[in-house]
């Protein structure tokens, strides 16, 4: 048969050739298919080619970072309610000088509509601490002693005056509910180093949780595996974790094996990430029964360690317990631990509308010693270099006074800080204006904080994405830059 040029071939087949040529060229594929089947039947391939029940991988298994980093875990100390920067880490002589005068608020500034009042000078005493001479007020005398390990960021700013949306932005990067939280992104990107404990643990204040509650530590549109797990600080860390006394370990194991088998059979006909997460959660709960109670059991800690944190003092005991448990959890491979100070309403948290001095003396008094002890304890155990410690609230407070004693919400410029985990301590980053109202120099948005936290964990915030609703989402949305000055 004389072959015709391809250009002269009739377009009767998709490949532009005759049916005879198509069968001749495709014939090799049938041989390959048969060979694949025979090799798989003999166990040549690691995964058989024939349909079999899928092996459900643990979504929290350790994963390599995008690049080498020092930090392996995060402890996020969240001061719910909003800490006054001008009374703690950001002294303002001009504010003192112009006490009682109106603040020069511009037209269109949201503060103007909130009846800001006149400038309210801080009544705190200030002193320089550490080798760098960083100003810290008398509200944090113990934290001042470890200031050389801390990078103080005075120019943080966010986008909301309201607690609910401010909390969500600091925790998830977005002002509305439904998005994965910081801990979810970190565990999604890196997994956890201990398969017997959750990758993301939340320790709430004894007064209750923050406004909006679980959406602040939820996994959003990610599988439920990545959401935060609330731990109690005494007794069983999770209610109903232990099985009934009438159910033996062997019986429980058989029940879980049956559930797993049924779920795996169901997963063959559906691609359901929630189902896989449920299987993993059952198995995790079973393993946690032995390890989780031990992780929160402080009886084996030395008397010196308990005293260091302040467990021997009623004022500090509860927050000290949470900080010490946080150290024990990261020591055991938990990837992300969030510790809340403040809960409930009004002066039960840092929301100092009524009397900023009374409010902050209470909450600083509860947290100052435990926070300093946490940094000291991590450092002496060789854990500070691999543990990133973050201190922040949802926003700061105004330099103006409410009833001449309290301060309103202010997201325009406030203080946060980081320590450990590749952070260059003993420095101040950024600045607010002369009154402490708005960030004006080296401004650091919440997205920048998040980008930097991920970077310190070895994750590129632009590459760490999750597909949902037709687009790839990330923690920092379409913004965020790494704070280079903060890196050691």
Reported as a single tens digit per residue, the pLDDT across 234-249 is 766 665 555 666 656 6
Residue 270 confidence class, pLDDT cut points 50, 70, 90: low
pLDDT, position 428: 98
Q: 338, 231 in Cβ contact below 8 A? A: no
Q: What angle do CA 303, 329, 187 make, to 5 degrees?
A: 165
Among residues of the chain, what percentage have pLDDT more than 90? 68
pTM of the prediction? 0.82
Tokens describing residue 367: 């947290």
Other beta carbons within 10 angstroms of residue 322's beta carbon come to 25
In the predicted model, is pLDDT for residue 25 greater than 70? no
Residue 261 confidence class, pLDDT cut points 50, 70, 90: confident
- Alpha carbon 313 to its chain centroid, in Å, reads 29
CA distances, 202 to each of 22, 335, 456 (Å): 62, 12, 21
pLDDT, position 282: 55
Contacts of 318 (CB under 8 A, 6+ apart): 205, 206, 233, 366
CA distances, 317 to each of 233, 366, 367 (Å): 11, 8, 9
Four-residue CA torsion sign, 454, 460, 462, 465: negative
pLDDT, position 395: 98
DSSP string, 68-110: --S--EEEEEEETT---GGGTT---HHHHHTTTSBP-PPTT-G
Sole residue written with tokens 């879980």 = 256
Give me the mean pLDDT over the 461-469 stretch: 97
In the predicted model, is pLDDT for residue 51 greater than 70? no
Least confident among 56-65, 254-263, 386-395, 464-473: 254-263
Rg of the chain (C-alpha set):
28
| Helices 273-295, 317-331: crossing angle, 10 deg rounding | 120
pLDDT, position 37: 45
Residue 103 confidence class, pLDDT cut points 50, 70, 90: confident
Residue 45 confidence class, pLDDT cut points 50, 70, 90: very low
* Integer Cα distance of 413 and 432 in angstroms: 6
pLDDT, position 39: 45
Sole residue written with tokens 């500090």 = 316
Tokens describing residue 488: 């050691």
Q: 58, 405 in Cβ contact below 8 A? A: no
pLDDT, position 360: 98
Return the CATH number of the domain spanning residue range 73-234+296-486.
Answer: 3.40.720.10
Give me the mean pLDDT over the 287-293 stretch: 67
Give me the mean pLDDT over the 408-430 stretch: 97
pLDDT, position 232: 83
Query: Which of the pair, 245 or 322, is modelled with greater confidence?
Result: 322
Query: Which of the pair, 404 or 8, is modelled with greater confidence?
Result: 404
Tokens describing residue 481: 């830059």
pLDDT, position 9: 46
Residue spans of the domains in the chain: they are 6-41, 73-234+296-486
**φ, ψ for residue 27 (rounded to 5)?**
-55, -35
In the predicted model, is pLDDT for residue 441 greater than 70? yes
3-state secondary structure 312-359: CCCCCHHHHHHHHHHHHHHHCCCCEEEEEECCCCHHHCCCCCCCHHHH
Least confident among 178-182, 250-254, 443-447: 250-254
| Residue 90, Ramachandran bin (φ over 0: left; ψ between -120 and 50: alpha; else beta) | beta
Contacts of 157 (CB under 8 A, 6+ apart): 411, 412, 413, 414, 438, 439, 443, 444, 445, 446
pLDDT, position 275: 60
pLDDT tens digits for range 323-379: 999 999 999 999 999 999 999 887 899 999 999 999 999 999 999 999 999 999 999
In the predicted model, is pLDDT for residue 207 greater than 90? yes
pLDDT, position 42: 46
CA distances, 231 to each of 28, 185, 282, 367 (Å): 60, 19, 17, 19
């Amino acid at each position: 048969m004389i072959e015709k040029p391809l250009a002269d071939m009739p377009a009767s087949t998709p490949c532009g050739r005759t049916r005879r040529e198509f069968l001749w060229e495709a014939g090799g594929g049938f041989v390959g298919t048969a060979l694949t089947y025979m090799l798989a039947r003999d166990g040549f391939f690691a995964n058989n080619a024939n349909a079999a029940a899928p092996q459900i991988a643990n979504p929290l298994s350790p994963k390599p970072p995008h690049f080498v980093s020092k930090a392996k875990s995060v402890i996020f100390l969240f001061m719910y309610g909003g800490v006054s920067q001008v009374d703690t880490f950001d002294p303002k002589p001009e504010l003192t000088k112009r006490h009682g005068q109106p603040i020069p608020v511009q037209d269109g500034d949201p503060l103007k509509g909130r009846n800001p009042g006149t400038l309210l000078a801080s009544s705190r005493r200030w002193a320089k601490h550490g080798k760098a001479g960083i100003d810290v007020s008398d509200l944090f005398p113990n934290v001042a002693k470890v200031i050389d390990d801390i990078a103080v960021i005075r120019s943080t700013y966010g986008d909301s005056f309201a607690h609910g949306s401010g909390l969500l932005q600091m925790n998830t990067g977005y002002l509305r509910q439904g998005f994965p939280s910081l801990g979810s992104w970190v565990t999604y990107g890196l997994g956890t180093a201990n398969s017997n404990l959750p990758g993301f643990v939340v320790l709430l204040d004894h007064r209750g949780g923050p406004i909006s509650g679980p959406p602040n530590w939820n996994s959003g549109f990610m599988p439920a595996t990545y959401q935060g797990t609330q731990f109690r600080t005494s007794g069983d860390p999770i209610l109903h974790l232990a099985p009934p006394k009438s159910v033996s370990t062997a019986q429980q194991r058989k029940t879980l094996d049956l559930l797993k088998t049924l779920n795996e059979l169901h997963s063959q006909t559906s691609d359901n990430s929630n189902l896989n997460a449920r299987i993993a959660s059952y198995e995790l709960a079973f393993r946690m029964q032995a390890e989780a109670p031990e992780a929160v059991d402080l009886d084996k800690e030395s008397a010196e360690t308990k005293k260091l944190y302040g467990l021997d003092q009623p004022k500090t005991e509860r927050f000290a317990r949470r900080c010490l448990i946080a150290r024990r959890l990261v020591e055991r491979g938990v990837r992300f631990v969030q510790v809340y100070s403040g809960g409930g309403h009004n002066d039960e948290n840092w929301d100092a509308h009524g009397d900023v001095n009374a409010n902050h003396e209470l909450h600083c008094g509860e947290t100052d010693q435990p926070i300093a002890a946490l940094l000291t304890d991590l450092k002496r155990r060789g854990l500070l270099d691999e543990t990133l410690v973050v201190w922040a609230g949802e926003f700061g407070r105004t330099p103006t006074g409410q009833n001449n004693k309290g301060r309103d919400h202010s997201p325009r410029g406030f203080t946060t800080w980081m320590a450990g985990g590749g952070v260059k301590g003993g420095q101040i980053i950024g600045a607010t204006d002369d009154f402490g109202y708005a960030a004006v120099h080296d401004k650091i948005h919440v997205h920048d904080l998040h980008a930097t936290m991920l970077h310190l964990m070895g994750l590129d915030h632009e590459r760490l994405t999750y597909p949902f609703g037709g687009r790839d989402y990330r923690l920092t949305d379409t913004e965020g830059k790494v704070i280079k000055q903060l890196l050691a």
